[in-house]
Structures are given as C-alpha cells and as structure tokens.
Structure 1
C-alpha cells in the first residue's frame, strides 16, 4: 500500500464493491499515519456513495470531497474545486472514488494535467460474480472503455469477488483466476485481494496481490 503512487483512482463496475474498498483503503492509509483525502467522484450512481460515511472518515482525520452540498440533501452535477487541493499538494495521499462505468470516468478528464504516467495509480475493482465482468472479455471491455473515456491507464487489479456477507473462499479463488487472466492479457499486476475479515484468514498465502481484510462499512447489518 505504501508503494502505490500518491494519487490512487479507484474504478469498478456497479456492484463491484468499489466504494467499500475505497473507504477501507483510505482508512488503512490514515492508520499508517498518512495525511489522507478521499474524493467521491461518482456523479452517476446515487446509492452507496463514499461521502455518506463522511463522519466516520473524518473521525480518522480523512478529508472528504464530493459534489454533495452539506445540509441540502442534494448533489450538484459538478465536482468541488476543493479536489484540486489534494491533487496539487503532495503532502496528501489522495484516493479518488470514481463512477463505475465509462460515463462516470468522464469526470477524470478535467484533471488530465495531473494524471501523468508514474504519478498516479488507477486500480480496477473486480467482482467476478457481476454479469458484466464475470468473463475475461467483459472485464477487458469494461477496462478499455474506461481508459478510453478517462484518458488514463489502469495500472492494477483488485480482486474483490464477493457475495456480501456470504462470500466464500471459492468466490475469491474464482475471482483470482479471472484477474490472473486479465493481468496477463493487460500486462498489469493484481495489487490487492479485498475480502471480508472472516474469510481473509482462510485464503492461501501464495496468491498474487496483498490481502486486504475489509469491514463492511457501506452496508448496515440488516442489509
């Protein structure tokens, strides 16, 4: 995690667990003593937005930026100019939670001058249980369409194959196989295996990617 580039863009299809990963990832960075900012750039999906957990994030000292107007109950169809602060200020470790498809990735276009090769990472969160990304062809198409729209390159994969609280080791291993195929096809590494804490300890030790045990923050216990 500490070897990742300072600016981390997190993408992933709807239902991939992109926002869940982004929040857990940002919290882990904060626990390591980093000065962290998280931007909610998902202007497409109105549900399970990272800015919904702003109180929790701020309790860890994480700065939260989004299109939400606090106290109004509404979003603006634009992104706060405050996002430029963490982009320009190299004292921040910056996590950008971006809309899950090529349309959502368009928001990255306005920050193109900051997305210089070697200065950022763009990680694709993969859930092999989602219909759109359960085949190699579907996953490659998803990644290519986002790269084309955002004019940025995916630099790593995150295996987050899950069935919410019913996730099994078999789910993770099936997702790992898909990610391994995509890794070879795209010549990019599997960076993380994101998995609920109860399952993480049951995984083999020889899998590619750092195992990141996560808490289910976005979904309440009854969901």
Structure 2
C-alpha cells in the first residue's frame, strides 16, 4: 500500500464497505509514519460516514475532513473547502472516501484537476454479497458509470466481500472469483483482499492481490 499513488480514491457500490476500507487504509498509513488526511466525500448516505470517527482517527494522527457544517449528525451535502489543502500539499497521503454509486462519485468532478495519471489511484470496492454486484456485467456497469461521472479511471479492484462478523473464507473466495473475472475483462488489477483479521489468517496465500486485514472501526460492538 505504501507504493500506491499519493491520492487514493475509494469508491464502489452503495453498501460495499468502502468507508470501512478507507478508514482502515488511512489507519495503516498513519501507523507506518505517513502524514495522512482522510476526506469524507459522502454527501449521499447519512449512515456509517468516516467523519463520525473523527476523534478516534485524530488520535491516530489522521486529519479528518468532512462537512463544512460542523455537526456530525447533520445530513447536509456540504464538503469542506479544507480538502484542497492536502490535495495541493504533497507532504500528505490523501484518502478520499466517496459516496456509493455514480451519484456519490459525482462529487469527484470538483477535484478533477488533481487526478492526473500517475498521481492518483482510484480503487473500486467489490462486495459480491450485495445483490446489485453479484454478477460480472452489473459490477462492470457500476464501475464504468462511476468512471464516467467522476472523469477518473479505476486503477485497482478491492475484493471486500463480507457478511460483517459472519464472514467466512467461502464468502471471500466467492468475491475473489468475481473480482478476477472483472479484472480479466477490464485489465484492471486486484490490489487488495479486504477481510477481517481472523479470516485473513485462513485464506490461501496464492490469491491475486494483497491480503489486507481490517478492524471493524465503523461498527459498534453491539452491532452484528
């Protein structure tokens, strides 16, 4: 992950687990000693937004940028202008947590000038347990639409197939098969296999993509 481009855009279908991956990604960057900014660009979904964990992330040394309205519970589609600072300041490693589907990705158009080839990565998160992305063609349709509205190209795929705390190795391998088929059709590499730590230990070591153990930062202990 340290070899990814400085600006990382995390996108995908609604409910795929983008935010959980984005938060874990930012946390790993910070633990490696990087100067990290995590920008919450989700102006569509009022649930499970990375800015809700601002206190925790700040303790990790991560600069969190969210709504320009300073109220975490406010469902207001307003992104802070603070985001321009880390986009322009190359001392930052930037993670952009984007809202789901093409509707959520539309916000990226505002920052199009920063997405030059070789300067950014856009990762498309796949959860094969979501009804709309269980088949190759539908998954590709969502990916292509996100590319169209954002005017940016997907550079890597993330297999984030899960059933929350009930995730099994079989779930992950099902998602891996889908990701491999999408990868082959679009010639886009699988970058990461995002999976709970205890499941990660049971996965085969020869899978395409880096196994990326995650912690469920976005779900409270009492949640399933």
Displacement of 1:74: 2.1
Displacement of 1:8: 0.1
Structure 2 match to 1:128: 128
Distance, in Å, in 1 between the alignment partners of 2:73 and 2:215 is 27
Counterpart secondary structure, 2:113:
helix
Counterparts of 1:138-177 in structure 2, within 5 Å, are 138-177=138-177
Counterpart secondary structure, 2:94:
strand
Displacement of 1:147: 0.4
Structure 2 length normalisation: TM-score? 0.97
Displacement of 1:68: 5.2
Alignment check: 8 A CA contact 2:36 2:62 kept? yes
Distance, in Å, in 2 between the alignment partners of 1:66 and 1:177 is 35
Counterpart secondary structure, 2:167:
coil
Structure 2 match to 1:215: 215
Distance, in Å, in 1 between the alignment partners of 2:86 and 2:75 is 21
Deviation string 1:3-41 (CA, Å, 9 cap, x unpaired) is 100000000212111000000000000000000000000
How many residues are matched? Answer: 223
Structure 1 match to 2:50: 50
**CA 1:110–1:140: 2 relative to 1, 3 Å:** same
Counterpart secondary structure, 2:101:
coil
Distance, in Å, in 2 between the alignment partners of 1:200 and 1:189 is 20
Displacement of 1:150: 0.5
Structure 2 match to 1:34: 34
Displacement of 1:79: 1.2
Distance, in Å, in 2 between the alignment partners of 1:110 and 1:142 is 20
Alignment check: 8 A CA contact 2:51 2:72 kept? no
Alignment check: 8 A CA contact 1:196 1:215 kept? yes
Alignment check: 8 A CA contact 2:44 2:77 kept? no
Deviation string 1:99-140 (CA, Å, 9 cap, x unpaired) is 111111111001111111111000011100001111001100
Alignment check: 8 A CA contact 2:52 2:72 kept? no
Distance, in Å, in 2 between the alignment partners of 1:73 and 1:180 is 38
| Unmatched segments (≥5 aa) in structure 1 | none
Alignment root-mean-square deviation, CA: 1.0
Counterparts of 1:4-43 in structure 2, within 5 Å, are 4-43=4-43
Structure 2 match to 1:91: 91
| Unmatched segments (≥5 aa) in structure 2 | none
Counterpart secondary structure, 2:102:
coil
Q: Once superposed, which parts of structure 1, at least 4 consecutive aligned residues long, lie more than 6 Å away?
A: none
Counterpart secondary structure, 1:128:
coil
Structure 1 length normalisation: TM-score? 0.98
